Amino acid sequence: MKIAVIGTGRVGLPLALAFAESGADVIGIDINSEIRQAVNIDKTMPFLEPGFEEVLQSGKLQIREFIDDVEDIDYFVITVGTPLLHHIETDLTAVTRVIKDLGSKIRKGQTVVMRSTTAPHTTEYVKKQLEAASGFEVGKEIFLACCPERILEGKAKEELLALPQIVGTEDTKSRDLAEALFQMLGVEIMHCDYITAELVKLFNNVSRYAYFAIANVLAMIAIDYKAEPYEILRLTNHNYPRPITSKPGFTAGTCLRKDFGMLSEAYWSADILVSAWRINESMPKFLVEAAKGRWGDLSALNVTVLGFSFKRDADDVRDTLSDKVLRYLHRECPKKLVLQDHLVQQDDVPEMQDLTFTHDLSDAVSDADLIVIATNHSLYSEQRDMLMGRVENNGCRIVDIWDSLGTGSVLLG
């Protein structure tokens, strides 16, 4: 069995490595030269994702820039990005480009697997594009399945080998071929049609996005009433059989922050998902305004933002809300603005006038008057005493929407 994984980013590369480790003959396709260098030459992951060191060192996976010889490929797995345009519309540019290229090269008997997160009816669109470009009929001469990924970043290997695989097809042959592919990972296979498979992935992500929005709006209401959200949650949940399970924070990342739009773009009216988006997107500005309401003008302060990646203990900065809080703080014209994140690189940080970036936590907070914890990295919890010492001994203030320091307070100092 030979597999080509097209797009070897944070979704495609772990999948390709998992297939290679299971014994398949796998190639990756990616235009990103840094990813090719990391995998082909350095034999390392180009981003944080543990568990694949041995298969990388084995050299079983090589990544090419283009699809050239397709004769011996059994499966083309498409894992390119599908971002959301600013006006709530799915951007299918990368998918369309791949399908157009693939459609001119695909041969009878080969199977295309859509694994990118897509809006409803995208697989049907892919089917039409493939048939038009290739001249072959899906289900008879070539085959197509929608098999969404549902892994958690940082736990890709664990979840690729554990989570049930949704397989969306609309003909028997495509169903059997897609099942045979994912049986290599030893997971449970669950069958459905295209639209159901697309909605399963979106429902998984969008429901979490809405849950977090509820936690965020409750936290905002509490802070507006000058009450502590975490104290309310503690009392609300104590020995209560129907607890509030989500906690407030920055709800970001390339899945949660965009997938609501794939369901909402078809509706002209506002809906609960757009409302959730507005709530989650407003948290950075809300916290800056809350800091001003508590401590007054920020222009005379040295301000430090801790964390830039979109999630805890990750190096992924895509669709992070930390850049949003930086922009709102920058508009307050602080005396000094510092960003610290030990997991991301300087090139990951957008250029901003008068912004200083550092990996070093102690250096970042040494003269800070205000600290905003934007990402709940475990380092900040581990350095609780040092950070709280800045509050107790130096008069520093801290905004901690995550309760990383375990004080139960969002505004400290």
Q: Report the pLDDT value the prediction gives residue 389, as an integer from 0 to 100.
A: 96
Identify the CATH number of the domain in which residue 408 sits. Answer: 3.40.50.720
The per-residue pLDDT for range 129-184, each reduced to its tens digit, is: 999 999 999 999 999 999 999 999 999 999 999 999 999 999 999 999 999 999 99
Judgement on whether residues 377 and 300 belong to the same structural domain of the protein: yes
Report the predicted TM-score, pTM, of the whole model to 2 decimal places: 0.91
The reported pLDDT for the residue numbered 286 is: 98
Q: 255 with 336, same domain?
A: yes
Q: Which domain, by its residues, includes 370?
A: 203-412
Q: How much of the chain, in percent, has pLDDT values that exceed 70?
A: 100
* Domain-embedded: residue 296: yes
Q: Judge if 398 and 253 occupy the same domain.
A: yes
Mean pLDDT of 252-277: 90
Per the domain annotation, does 19 fall within a domain? yes
> Looking at the predicted structure, is the pLDDT value of residue 255 above 90?
no
The tally of domains found in the chain comes to 2
Residues 117 and 164 in one domain: yes
Residue 70: the pLDDT is: 80
pLDDT at position 269: 81
In the listed set 143, 166, 192, which residue is the last one of a domain according to the structure?
192
pLDDT at 37 over 90: yes
Residue 337, amino acid: L
Could you tell me how many helices (H) and strands (E) the chain has, helices first?
15, 16
Is residue 362, in this structure, part of any structural domain at all?
A: yes
Residue 269: other Cβ atoms inside 10 A: 6
| Domain's final residue, options 149, 171, 192 | 192
- Within this chain, do residues 282 and 391 fall inside the same structural domain, yes or no? yes
The whole-chain average pLDDT of the chain stands at 96
289 and 386 both lie in a single domain: yes
pLDDT for res 71:
82
Query: Within this chain, do residues 169 and 210 fall inside the same structural domain, yes or no?
Result: no
Residue 338 covered by a domain:
yes
- Nearest to residue 219, comparing CAs of 241, 260, 242, 250? 250
Question: Looking up tokens 């936690």, which residue turns up?
Answer: 215
Let me know if residue 265 belongs to a domain. Answer: yes
Report the alpha-carbon distance of residue 184 to residue 186 in Å, rounded.
Answer: 5
Is 138 found in the same domain as 63? yes
Q: Looking at the structure, tell me whether residues 107 and 248 fall in a common domain.
A: no
List Cβ neighbours of 308 (8 Å cut-off, separation of 6 or more).
317, 320, 322, 323, 339, 341, 344, 348, 349, 374, 375
| pLDDT category of residue 267 using cuts at 50, 70 and 90 | confident
197 lies in a domain? Answer: no
pLDDT value of residue 219: 98
**In this structure, how many other beta carbons lie within 10 angstroms of the beta carbon of residue 362?**
10
Q: Is residue 198 included in any domain, yes or no?
A: no
- Which string of DSSP letters, residue by residue, matches 221-283? HHHHTT--HHHHHHHHHTT-SS------S---STTHHHHHHHHHTT-SS--HHHHHHHHHHHH
Mean pLDDT is lowest, of 10-19, 60-69, 183-192, for: 60-69
Q: Are residues 149 and 294 in the same domain?
A: no
Domain end marker among 192, 216, 238: 192
Any domain includes 135: yes
Per-residue pLDDT, averaged over 343-352, amounts to: 94
Q: Are residues 17 and 134 in the same domain?
A: yes
**Residue in 411, 412, 413, 407 with CA at minimum distance from that of residue 231:** 407
Mean pLDDT of 352-356: 94
Segment 201-249, tens digit of pLDDT: 999 999 999 999 999 999 999 999 999 999 999 999 999 999 999 999 9
Sheet holding 2-6, edge to edge: 62-64, 25-29, 2-6, 75-78, 111-114, 143-146, 165-168, 189-192
Q: Are residues 408 and 286 in the same domain?
A: yes
pLDDT 10s digits, 6-24: 999 999 999 999 999 999 9
CB 359 within 8 A of CB 406: no
Looking at the DSSP assignment, which residues form a beta bridge with residue 370? Answer: 303, 397
